[in-house]
Amino acid sequence: MGSIFPELNERLGEFIAQQKMFFVASAPLAEDGHVNVSPKGLDCLRILGPKTVAYVDFNGSGIETVAHLRENGRLTLMFCAFQGAPRILRLRGRGEAIEPSDERWDSYYRQLPQDVSARSIVVLHVEMVADSCGYGIPLYDYVGERSQLFAWCDRKGAAGIAEYQSEKNRYSIDGLPGLKYLADPRPSDGQTAT
């Protein structure tokens, strides 16, 4: 039923390219920390090599994945076949979030879909590729991509996006630092930052 692969091959790459969405899972080290799972779409992911994938991390109301990567690097991406033959594919490994101020930004960014709403690039260094049957995954028809995110960013403009990130992307829900450019001292009283 399931197989483990040391790296991505052409067949697995084709499967990933056919999927219209995937899921990202990360968690803090704290025993009582919140596990995060986020859906991703908008054709934001590219395979950069047999052991490297990257996706554009668009603006959003949370910063969980970036905060978890900064703390511990653990990351899993999951792809499900909602059309065609059933399959689930998980990429497990160590991730990093690259922000626009990082000297590596341009080299990654030019390999990915480019949009002003990109707040970081998440790079996964794949350590394990595992698939499973996906027999319990329902069939869905793909209708199209949503346009709201890009329209929202256009309305906000660069200054509005920076203000939004400062409010929403400074800390994770567990109080871990989010975007580096927003870094300031962690709350000293053990309270979660707001």
- The whole-model pTM stands at 0.92
Percentage of the chain surpassing pLDDT 70? 94
> Is position 192 within any domain?
no
> Is position 176 within any domain?
yes
- Residues 107, 18: Cα–Cα separation, whole Å: 25
- Which distant-in-sequence residues (6+ apart) come within 8 Å of 122 by Cβ? 24, 54, 55, 57, 65, 66, 69, 75, 95, 96, 97, 98
> Is position 187 within any domain?
no
> Is position 152 within any domain?
yes
Q: Confirm if 160 and 152 have CB atoms less than 8 A apart.
A: no
- Residues 22, 171: Cα–Cα separation, whole Å: 24
Percentage of the chain surpassing pLDDT 90? 90
Q: Encoding tokens for residue 31?
A: 């025993």
| Of residues 88, 145, 166, 91, the one with CA closest to residue 123 | 91
Residue carrying the six token digits 């707001």: 194
Query: In CATH, what number is assigned to the domain containing residue 67?
Result: 2.30.110.10
> Is position 189 within any domain?
no
For the chain, the domain total comes to 1
Query: For residue 51, what pLDDT band results from cuts at 50, 70 and 90?
Result: very high
> Is position 27 within any domain?
yes
pLDDT tens digit string along 82-124? 999 999 999 999 999 999 999 999 999 999 998 878 999 999 9
pLDDT tens digit string along 157-187? 999 999 999 999 999 999 999 999 997 655 5
> Is position 190 within any domain?
no
**pLDDT recorded at residue 191:** 47
**pLDDT recorded at residue 115:** 83
Strands 22-26 and 36-40: antiparallel
